[in-house]
Amino acid sequence: MNNFSQRKFIIGAIFIAIGLIFLVRLVNIQLIDNKYKLESDSNVLRVITQYPARGLIYDRNGKLLVYNEASYDLMLIPRQLKEIDTNAFCELFELTKEAFGKKLTKIKNYSTYKPSVFEKELSTEAYANIQDQLYKFPGFYVETRTLRSYPNKNAAHLLGYIGEVTPEIIEKDTYYKSGDYIGKSGIELAYEGLLRGKRGVKKVMVDVHNREKGRYLNGAEDTLSVSGKTVKTGIDIALQTYGELLMQNKTGSIVAIEPSTGEILCLVSLPSYDPNMLVGREVRKNYPILSKDSLNPLFNRATMAQYPPGSIFKTIQALIAMQEGVITENSGFSCLKSLVGCHNHPNATNVAASIKMSCNPYYYQVFRKIIQQNKAKSIYKDSEIGLAEWSKRVKKFGFGGTLQTDIPGVKNGLVPGVDFYNKWYGEGRWAFSTIFSLSIGQGELGVVPIQMANLAAIIANRGYYYQPHIIKMVDEKSTIPQQFKQKNYVGIDAHYFDPIVEGMYGVVQEPRGTARRAKIAGVEVCGKTGTAQNPHGEDHSVFIAFAPKDNPKIAIAVYVENAGFGGTWAAPIASLMMEKYLTDSISDKIKEQRILGANLMNVIPKK
């Protein structure tokens, strides 16, 4: 082969190699690396996220609780940003040059060709002020968003609020991307999947002056957003509002449930706040203020505050004792104050009387019969056997973490068992005499108010409950989770509830009853007072009730912190709430004015 032929092949190989290099580069640009496509498209196209309208929330009577208002995000594509009048821009958006520079640098560091949020959640008024001037600033445009609005300014803990997603949320759920919003608490969190809807995309052509010139490909590549579903709750906003009014200048909670469905009628926690304080741009200003407030308005006492149940727990002790056969409904015990302290009253000759007069020594002796049934020779082992069975039965009433409501963040409370006391005192080193304070709802027992309201519903239903829940229907259809339609039986025969109901009737309606202030004209109210011990101050005033006695429509629990005896404050508050719900009126205006005028926030602590 001569030199010419060799040079021909070498030159040909070089051209082929160069061609392959260009081909590979072209494939990389067009099919693999979309950076250049994005840069090119961004010069003529604008991809706008179509955020869906979040689902509306209504109360049980069709009153609107949460709706949407328009807001606007100012977006920026840095590569489209030309020379602009920075002074005019900063004046228009009320920014300093320093703030403008910091935002621009942060956005450029993220991406020069992808759109980023420059300014969040502009109001309709703010957008109107800039709309006609925006064309002067190439690279900037506006995306429409919605913000939540709360017309009633009540039920903040119940409704919850929404906020921007965190990187952790984005990592866990691929639906969300930076800048999206998600329910953070309450109904907004519990039903996020129903309320959020589905994003869409709109592609538009823009000119060199940043003005939209029509849909790209006549909208062929657009996708529609899908609005979130409408959620109708079981809440009665009128009752909720009235409860918050009664609890002004008080610390505590009210929870009311419809026994026949388990629907939560109201969930009041005071101190509270206007839910509109945690909307949009206001969140960044108000959340730190609320979180540092000494009154702790962000804390939902109805679902998170743990208290001793006090004398209300005597209803459960009697039911368990009758079911286990250690007493009958006609069992009587002397009021022996040498066993445990009590107020003056006649001896309780049966279960109904013991509930009516709330006799402590009676339940000391009842609980001893439950715990010590002579099933083992050792008193310690016998107490372990008795407590294990007792603890299991108590949890069937929804205590100790067994309540499965749809309200996020409900605390478990505490039902102490054998392991608890073995760890505390040591195995074989405790017996009934060590734990007798449980007999009257004190000691290590801990409950949250929603659990106590559920107890009232159980007694109202004579032995079963529906899991307490907020949701009533979705998009006008009764498509609620199956778990909220099932009856949960507590393992106590229905006829054992008769003396409990009679006793609770006597508490309110008969002489020597401990809650005469809970009477409602023309309504048979059944209730039980409690005084929950508080080591840090005055005892808590507690009351549970249901009404009417037959075919009950409402079950309720009221806790008023540092307010003393249950019949003094909690009972009249409960009666006003029940009358308001059942009759939409208040017959005893003097009682109402006493509650409305009471300031129990500055009770002097016990010494």
How many Cβ atoms sit within 10 Å of the Cβ of residue 95?
17
The DSSP code for 264 is E
| CA–CA–CA angle 220, 221, 223 (5° rounding) | 105
Query: 477 CB contacts (<8 Å, ≥6 apart)?
Result: none
The first and second tokens of residue 485, run together, are: 């339609």
Q: Where are the alpha helices (DSSP H) in 217-263?
A: 237-246
- Distance from C-alpha of 97 to C-alpha of 109, rounded to nearest angstrom: 18
In the chain, the amino acid numbered 134 is L
Q: What is the DSSP letter of 427?
A: T
Angle between helices 360-371 and 379-395 (to 10 degrees): 110
Amino acid, res. 519: K
Rg (CA), the chain: 33
Round to whole Å and give the CA distance between 466 and 8.
90
Contacts of 165 (CB under 8 A, 6+ apart): 176, 177, 178, 179, 180, 181, 182
Any alpha helices (H) in 444-546, and if so which ranges? 449-460, 497-509
For residue 208 the two structure tokens come to 């060199």
C-alpha 579/C-alpha 521 separation (Å) is: 9
Domains in the chain: ranges and CATH: 46-233 (3.90.1310.10), 237-597 (3.40.710.10)
Paired tokens of 252: 């505590």
**Whole-number pLDDT of residue 143:** 84
Encoded tokens for 304? 């998170």
CA distance 262 to 398: 13
568 in the Ramachandran plot: left (φ > 0), alpha (ψ -120 to 50) or beta? alpha
379, with CB counted inside 10 A (0-12, 13-18, 19+), is middle
pLDDT for res 211: 64
Report DSSP letters for 86-150, one per residue: HHHHHHHTT--HHHHHHHHHHHHHH-SSS-EEEEEEE-HHHHHHHGGGGGGSTTEEEEEEEEEE-
Query: Is 355 strand, coil or helix?
Result: helix
Give residue 110's pLDDT: 84
DSSP assigned state of 432: H
Provide the pLDDT for residue 225: 86
pLDDT < 70 positions in the chain = 1-13, 15, 17, 22, 24-44, 207-212, 219, 535-536, 602-607
Estimate the crossing angle of helix 497-509 against helix 314-324, to 10 degrees. Answer: 150
Residue 39: its pLDDT value, please? 44
Question: What pLDDT, on a 0 to 100 scale, did the predictor assign at position 25?
Answer: 65
CB 417 within 8 A of CB 388: yes
**Encoding tokens for residue 403?**
């309540």
